[in-house]
Structure 1
Amino acid sequence: MIDVWDAGLPAPREPGGLGRLACSIGTDTFPAAFLDCLQANVDAAHFSVIRVAARRPSLLFAGTQHRDRHLVYRCWDAYAAQYHQHDQLFERMRRLHQTGGREPVGRLSADDIAFLPYRRAIYTENGMSERLSSYCVDTDGTPVLLNLYRHHEQGPFSDLEIASFEALGPALVRLIGGHRALREAQRATDSRAVLRGIEPTLSDREVEVCARLLDGMTHAGIAADLGVKESTVKTYRNRAFDRLGIHFRSELFALCRR
């Protein structure tokens, strides 16, 4: 089953948690509030927000309720590197948008993915069964997708969850955009300036990695955000730590927050 439709119906109820999420934009509580908002409306194991540029998609935001905290990032790495060109759901949503659909919503069953390597690597090997997506475009017309994923043990998305997602998806994408813009501005005037003040010889990449470590991101998350391998992130971290004379993330926090 690969279904795509235009989200035009009103939500059956006011989406829960949206007000709290809006109030948390730009703060450290936003990721937790985002997951809470999702769980109040749609039971998803993982979520990702991706920007699908012409050459290669980029990951804007991701999170999980799963016991394997890195699964969503491993799947993203594989999707971006090898499988995004085989995403039938995205292509159908893009066509609907181009022919007049306002903000398409799509639903994909893993069993209906035609390209078997993509199905196996992302879905079968990880026990994922279904994906629900909301499609919109950013200010320059580039597609942005909010994706929710279910595992087999969770069962399919219910009609009520899908109806809630139709109303909630575009708002969530815009809130994420606002949050990222604020955090980038905060980091630009805070962490990066502090790091360069402490050690002016840090390279741009070393500063970017350290700033994200200070923001609480995992190595896998930083790799996805910067579009590099996790091993590359660790190399930049090690070089930066050597220049700063530290060995642990806790020392980085102590150095920059004093």
Structure 2
Amino acid sequence: MIRLSTPQASTLPAQIRAFSDLTRALGTPGFPAALLDCLGQWAACEHFSVLRMDGARPQLLAAGTRYPDASLVLRCGQAYIEHYHRYDPLFEPLKEAPGQVGHLLAQDIRHGPYREAIYQRNGMIERLSSVYLDEQARPVQFNLYRHHDQGFFNDQELQMCEALSPALLQLLRGHLALNSLNPVKNPQQQLLQRCPELTTQELNICARLLQGMTHAGIAADLGIKESTVKTYRNRAFDRLGIHFRSQLFALFSAQG
């Protein structure tokens, strides 16, 4: 007898369900949140970033955060790329040993400006990193960050992160490959990559403007006054160096 059934993810144990959700999110904008949710079953991480560390200027390939300020991880990534990657004590050892896991405490970073700008200013206290080589033998670095509110990783969390690292690197490789084949326009991430100083509310409003929503519609959607929407819009436009909605659309089109 032929029998068809609908897969029921809800019947999976919680840890397996989180991993199932992560694999189904490959190549989609939901991957960053799914990655942090999956890791949260074993070790709570506040932020992650993925950078191609090739040439004079690294490239931020992916990032995600649980922090209320969604732009924090991109701001830190941009500062790292522009000013501090040369002072990263983990990268060179990891580059020579792809697949190994490096562990760094913020207090052990010798270069003061790097320690202050990335870690102390943003409340990050600890980082785990690993490197793999892409199809062109370029090093790609995966970073997990711990926030001071969480305390330091305990021994069990460190062991789980180390054990999961090979699978996570392979999933990241697949996610980035799918993204390159099927690029998805994500206005929030694209705008943040251009202007990491955008606040969460400014970002929310710009994204809705790009969707064609009116100021009144945005106000109703976000539960704020229309005048507040215009205030945040003006601040965002100032940061972006534009004056009109048409310029916002043109900016997004240029990035897409």
**Same-fold status (TM-score > 0.5):** yes
* CA apart distance, 1:28: 4.4
Residues 33, 64 of structure 2: 8 Å contact kept: no
The answer as to 2:174 corresponding to 1:178 is yes
- Pick 1 or 2: higher relative contact order, CA cutoff 8 A, min separation 6: 1
Alpha-carbon distance between aligned partners in 1 of 2:135 and 2:42, rounded to the nearest angstrom: 27
* CA apart distance, 1:137: 1.4
242 and 108 in structure 1: CA distance in 2 versus 1, 3 angstrom threshold: closer
Residues 63, 72 of structure 1: 8 Å contact kept: yes
Alpha-carbon distance between aligned partners in 2 of 1:29 and 1:108, rounded to the nearest angstrom: 28
* CA apart distance, 1:20: 2.6
Alpha-carbon distance between aligned partners in 1 of 2:155 and 2:192, rounded to the nearest angstrom: 33
SS at match of 2:45: coil
1:1-16 alignment runs, 5 A limit: none
| One-letter amino acid of the counterpart of residue 172, structure 2 | I
* CA apart distance, 1:134: 1.6
The equivalent of 1:203 in structure 2 is none
Alpha-carbon distance between aligned partners in 1 of 2:17 and 2:34, rounded to the nearest angstrom: 11
Residues 135, 170 of structure 1: 8 Å contact kept: no
1:241-252 alignment runs, 5 A limit: 241=249
The equivalent of 2:152 in structure 1 is 156
| One-letter amino acid of the counterpart of residue 91, structure 1 | E
Alpha-carbon distance between aligned partners in 2 of 1:234 and 1:139, rounded to the nearest angstrom: 37
TM-score (norm 1): 0.66
Write out per-residue CA displacement over residues 106-132 of structure 1, whole angstroms, 9 at most, x where no aligned residue: 111111111111111111111211111
1:1-258 alignment runs, 5 A limit: 17-95=18-96, 97=97, 103-187=99-183, 211-213=185-187, 217=189, 219-221=191-193, 238-239=246-247, 241=249
SS at match of 1:141: coil
Residues 49, 60 of structure 1: 8 Å contact kept: yes
Alpha-carbon distance between aligned partners in 2 of 1:175 and 1:104, rounded to the nearest angstrom: 16
The equivalent of 2:12 in structure 1 is none
Alpha-carbon distance between aligned partners in 2 of 1:242 and 1:53, rounded to the nearest angstrom: 30
SS at match of 2:102: strand
Alpha-carbon distance between aligned partners in 2 of 1:16 and 1:234, rounded to the nearest angstrom: 44
* CA apart distance, 1:242: 5.8
Query: Aligned Cα RMSD in Å?
Result: 3.1
* CA apart distance, 1:233: 6.8
Alpha-carbon distance between aligned partners in 2 of 1:32 and 1:169, rounded to the nearest angstrom: 17
SS at match of 2:74: helix
Alpha-carbon distance between aligned partners in 2 of 1:238 and 1:63, rounded to the nearest angstrom: 29
Write out per-residue CA displacement over residues 14-49 of structure 1, whole angstroms, 9 at most, x where no aligned residue: 887333311222344333322211211221111111
Which 5+ residue runs of structure 1 have no aligned equivalent?
Answer: 1-13, 192-210, 225-229, 244-248, 253-258
| One-letter amino acid of the counterpart of residue 52, structure 2 | R
Equivalent residues, number: 198
Question: What is the identity percentage for the equivalent residue pairs of Structure 1 and Structure 2?
Answer: 42
| One-letter amino acid of the counterpart of residue 123, structure 1 | Y
Alpha-carbon distance between aligned partners in 2 of 1:148 and 1:123, rounded to the nearest angstrom: 13
TM-score (norm 2): 0.67
SS at match of 1:123: helix
* CA apart distance, 1:223: 5.7
Moved >6 Å (runs of 4+): 230-234
| One-letter amino acid of the counterpart of residue 220, structure 1 | L
Alpha-carbon distance between aligned partners in 1 of 2:195 and 2:166, rounded to the nearest angstrom: 26
SS at match of 1:148: strand
| One-letter amino acid of the counterpart of residue 239, structure 1 | Q
SS at match of 2:40: helix
